[in-house]
Amino acid sequence: MKLPGADLPHPLNPKKYVVLNTGLTIVDRDYNGDYGMPRWGDYAIVKAKAGADVPDLQIAGLFDENWQLQK
C-alpha cells in the first residue's frame, strides 16, 4: 500500500531532507488488527539511519484542539 507523502530538501541544510508522511507509526510486525493507535501522535521528528529498520525518535507530540502546538 502506498500513502501520500513528500520528500523535500531541507531549507536550512541542503545535505538533508524533510519528509512529510501520512502513514501510520506502527511496524507491520506489531499489527494486531487495530491501526487506531499511532505511537508518535500528530507529529514526530525522527532521525533516519542507513540500514536501520526503525528511525530514532527525536520528538513527538499532539496538537491542541485548534491544531496548534501545545505550550
Give the closest residue to 63 by CA, choosing from 45, 30, 41.
41
Instruction: Please give the pLDDT value at position 13.
Output: 92
Count CA atoms within 13 Å of residue 58 on its CB side.
7
Task: Report yes or no: 55 and 44 within 8 Å, Cβ to Cβ.
Answer: no
pLDDT of residue 29: 62
pLDDT confidence of residue 32? 64
According to the model, what pLDDT value does residue 12 have?
93
CB within 8 Å of 20: residues ≥ 6 apart: 5, 6, 8
| Strand, helix or coil for residue 30 | helix
Q: Which residues of the chain have pLDDT under 50?
A: 1
Q: What is the pLDDT of residue 1?
A: 43
As a whole number of angstroms, the distance between CA 20 and CA 39 comes to: 16
